[in-house]
Amino acid sequence: MTAQIQKKKKLDASTHATIDETSIRYEGWRIVLVCFLLATFGWGLGFYGQSVYVAELHRLRGWPASLISSGTTFFYLSGAALVAFVSEAIRAFGPRKCLIAGTLAMAAAAISIGQVREPWQLYAANAVLAFGWAGTSLSVITNTLGLWFDHKRGMAISLALNGASFGGIAGVPLLAAAIGYFGFSGAMIAAAVAMIVLMVPVILIFVGQPPLHLSTSALAASDAPSATQIRARAFRDISFLSVSGAFALVLFAQVGFIVHLISFLDSVIGRERAAVAVALMTAMAVVGRVLFSFVIDRLNQRLASSLSFVSQAVALAVIINVHNDMASIAACALFGFSVGNLITLPSLIVQREFDPRSFGVLVSLITAINQITYAFGPGVVGVLRDASGSYALPFYGCIGLELTAAVLIMIRGRP
């Protein structure tokens, strides 16, 4: 028996050694393309699509924005509860089945949202959307790519998550155009059909057995801690708490700021220039993610995170205090440069600093913590704005959170 185990270990080691992640022919880059497409639909229908759903349901049903927005908050919180267990689902069922399940759930959610007639149906549709989000967003993409990449994991994740930005840049305008042509219900059905027709064949063709499957199984079968044990230890680990806490604070500030950005800039530089500023910010998120992807695996990732937080704080300070068209647009570009990397960096820090067997569970846990936190960002910023009469107080609060996070991320426990 011992001889068989040793033989298996040698086979796993030799298999791992022959993998060249830098080769253009490496199958992992096809998985990156699959994840890019998945992120496009996941963020287009799950994250950025929320603004479309709020506007359309308000127009069609006449419901108050607070009612519809509460459905969005319910979606974020429900999704966070599911995201925490994505790594266990992939371990149990494999990446192919999980990606297909996420695709089908997102498509079903899109159709359901288009059929909403009563408030309770909105919550039911958002519950289905939470399942779709868990199966198409950050946690499932990071965990899937972690099965194909080790040395180039940062680049793979960064490139795949450009699909998230593309979902905002192209997905929302296409959805809006489809609504004008087919109506809300017809457009959501068309989006669901397009997702299934494109994603299911691509997943079936390209997503097979990961090359690290044998070595991963060997680790899991030996003395690997359970997911429950990993989570329990994480909440007693200073290094994990500093990473999860810092990114939770920053994403709370980032999402809260972005949701209210057009409302703020509208009165400062006008609606047209505000739209340009937001578009440039989104484009810079892609640029920043692509540029970082070539060096991110070699950087001090905690320091890179801290500098990113400080750059966002500086951008916010300029936006608040310098009421000039070009300065505001430039500050939005600066803010956007690090937006994309802030959803990539936590997983890379986890990969570098923690037990490889804990990677999937810890990434899913951080993603869940972040999502629970930033779900309240837009609401808190809105409440502070109404209470103070301007956006200065909530945006200065966001600056405080960014700078606090810049210090917190540099705190490391014992290795």
Please give the pLDDT value at position 113: 92
Residues 385-402: pLDDT tens digits? 888 888 889 899 999 999
Residues 194-229: pLDDT tens digits? 999 999 999 999 998 887 543 454 345 455 677 788
Pull the structure tokens for residue 229: 């044990």
CB of 101 closer than 8 Å to CB of 76: no
Kindly tell me if the per-residue pLDDT of 8 is higher than 50: no
Instruction: State the average pLDDT for the chain.
Output: 83
Please give the pLDDT value at position 18: 59
Taking residues 365-371, what's their average pLDDT? 88
Kindly tell me if the per-residue pLDDT of 11 is higher than 80: no
Q: Is 121 exposed, middle or buried (0-12, 13-18, 19+ CB in 10 A)?
A: middle
Report helix angle 377-388 to 238-269, nearest 10.
Answer: 50
CB atoms within 10 A of CB 304: 19
Nearest of 208, 251, 220, 155 to residue 359 by alpha carbon = 220
Residues 338-349: pLDDT tens digits? 887 888 888 888
Please give the pLDDT value at position 171: 79
Cα–Cα dist 166/145, whole Å: 19
Q: Which amino acid is at 203?
A: I
Please give the pLDDT value at position 280: 82
CB atoms within 10 A of CB 274: 22
Residues 104-154: pLDDT tens digits? 999 999 999 999 998 899 999 999 999 999 999 888 998 898 888 877 787
Please give the pLDDT value at position 410: 92
Q: What is this structure's pTM?
A: 0.77
Please give the pLDDT value at position 300: 87
Q: Is 286 exposed, middle or buried (0-12, 13-18, 19+ CB in 10 A)?
A: buried
Place of tokens 């011992």: 2
User: Which residue ranges form the domains of the chain, and what is each CATH number?
Assistant: 25-222 (1.20.1250.20), 224-415 (1.20.1250.20)
Kindly tell me if the per-residue pLDDT of 6 is higher than 70: no
Q: Residue 237 contacts by C-beta under 8 Å, 6 or more apart in sequence?
A: 413
Taking residues 355-373, what's their average pLDDT? 85
